Amino acid sequence: MMRKTFLSASLAAASLVAGLTACNNDKLTAVNANPNAPEAVQSSSLFTNATIGALGSIRGSTFEHGLSGLWAEHYAEIQYPEADLNQPRNATTEGLWTNFYAGPLQDLKQVSVQSATQPELLGPALVIRDFVLQTMTDFWGDIPFSEAGGGSKNFTPKYDTQAAVYDTIFTSLSAAATMMSGVPAARIEIEPRYGETDPVFGQTAFVKTGAAQAAAWVRLANSLHARAAMRISAKDKAKATAELAKALAGPVFRNNGDNAYVPWPGGVVSNPLCLNWQDSPACGGTRDDQRLSKRFVDTLLITGDPRLAMYAEPTAASQGTSPTACDVPYRGYPNGLAAPDSVNPCSTKGLNFGLADYSRPTLTIRLEGSPSYIMTYSELLFIKAEAAERGMIAGSAAQFYADAITASMQQWGVDAADIATYLASVPYKGGAAGLQQIAYEKWVSLFNLETEAYAEYRRFDFPVLKPGPDAVTNTVPTRLPYPDIENSLNASNLAAAKGAQGNTDITGKVWWDAPFVP
């Protein structure tokens, strides 16, 4: 990845800033944390720190393999199955909540204050903030935002409704795209910008000119705007259609070269998944208890999807010196088991069924320099395919559908011949059946973007997923519960938010999660 070339020093430096910008000395809930960030900390350092912090949480092992990946049934948990049994620990929920408020949102708020008149600094900060906000509200529904981060001015911030948070996201992404597009050509090269300290687009092709770097952020802002618009389309199709039109009226992703991701340089700033896995070189991880889901692996085996070899590592047992017929290359672990599954369906191996018999994600996903994605071109094409089928935009749903699958497979390095063979096996059907095809293929393509795969599963209610046999609920979870710390420190506002939303337990639904209607 060329993007690493310029980022190592800036990312390592940003990690040193984290201690300054994420502390909360008066031990109040992170929602109420005042930035207390010294003005001497430059916006470039704050932005770098916020971006790597956001991607470290959203694409880290807790979200990717331990919550959303489990509930999207891309992954399964073997040794610590609480979340896979639909009983996530409060400590996990609280840690994510606190990290977002005391980390990225805090840093980005400071950037917005001290760089309010500098569009090439403010614009990207708004884009990353909105990416974080959407992730949070998609998991928790109503969240504190407009009054959050005020410190002693407001220890008990109100909760903004999810509809209001989405309105903020739409307005903010439009503003970010507009401000970064509106700098006169004569000034754009002398305006302050992140340059090589930009963790997403700080690579040779983008840092040569301010115009190129700003254009990359404009495309990301508009593409994220399209994602957010489609997310609310079951709840408010008219508004979704209007917001989608705004997003697609501006520049959006054109090909896989526009994919937005952090290309981790390695060392002290490595891919967060690498930091989890003990068999990933150079990262010192300690865990080896998560595997791909049986549902996911079996489905890709049935459809002959060539991405399986890019997603899943062959089982260790199949790579041994004397593999048996039972030691198949790809096997997923069942979701929702309270104890490790030690019963091998192949009788020749008896009860000697263990971790070696199930597929890990490939090393290309969890090496120290493996990229963490914000959004991809294939996702944008699936948005267009769905929108065209539902009459929200003009264009051929069938063509967008084929192009989306092609882009996903090209991103993962699938050969052209294999792409053609697969496309021939899944011709677009149109209508309700076509929408289910889009939902399914999007679910497959969003592997390694698990928060999005989980959100899209909830929105489409497809593919049909079921909890494992030992799960405590009879449906897949549809939201995260609020952390206990909010009940202790912001009880009245939390109670009001719960009352306004109805069921906020793990089986409740967020505002946009309405029955899917074409």
Averaged pLDDT, 124-147: 98
The helix/strand/coil state of 312 is strand
Confidence of residue 2 (pLDDT cuts 50, 70, 90): very low
Report pTM.
0.93
Confidence of residue 8 (pLDDT cuts 50, 70, 90): low
Average per-residue pLDDT for the chain: 90
User: Has residue 344 got a pLDDT over 60?
Assistant: no
What are the sequence ranges of the domains in the chain?
10-263+475-501, 290-366
DSSP-derived secondary structure letter, 505: S
Backbone angles phi, psi at 77, to 5 degrees: -110, 135
C-alpha–C-alpha distance, residues 332 and 162, integer Å? 35
Confidence of residue 34 (pLDDT cuts 50, 70, 90): low
Averaged pLDDT, 411-420: 98
Is the distance from CB of 74 to CB of 189 less than 8 angstroms?
A: no
User: Has residue 19 got a pLDDT over 50?
Assistant: no
Closest to 330 measured CA to CA, from 310, 348, 349, 351: 310
Per-residue confidence (pLDDT) for residue 31, from 0 to 100: 63
Quote the percentage of the chain above a pLDDT of 90. Answer: 77
C-alpha–C-alpha distance, residues 266 and 282, integer Å? 8
Closest to 259 measured CA to CA, from 385, 133, 379, 387: 379
Under 8 Å CB-to-CB from 459, ≥6 apart: which residues?
A: 231, 233, 234, 512, 513, 516
Q: Which tens digits make up the pLDDT trace of 300-339?
A: 999 999 999 999 999 998 998 888 888 899 999 999 999 8
Per-residue confidence (pLDDT) for residue 204, from 0 to 100: 65
User: Has residue 194 got a pLDDT over 90?
Assistant: yes
State which CATH number among 3.30.10.20, 2.40.50.140, 3.30.950.10, 1.25.40.390 fits the domain covering 10-263+475-501: 1.25.40.390
Backbone angles phi, psi at 199, to 5 degrees: -70, -15
The helix/strand/coil state of 79 is coil
Per-residue confidence (pLDDT) for residue 26, from 0 to 100: 37
Averaged pLDDT, 265-275: 90
Q: Which tens digits make up the pLDDT trace of 358-377?
A: 999 999 999 999 999 999 99
C-alpha–C-alpha distance, residues 187 and 510, integer Å? 44
From 21-25, 153-157, 196-200, 290-294, the region with the lowest mean pLDDT: 21-25
Confidence of residue 17 (pLDDT cuts 50, 70, 90): very low
The helix/strand/coil state of 397 is helix
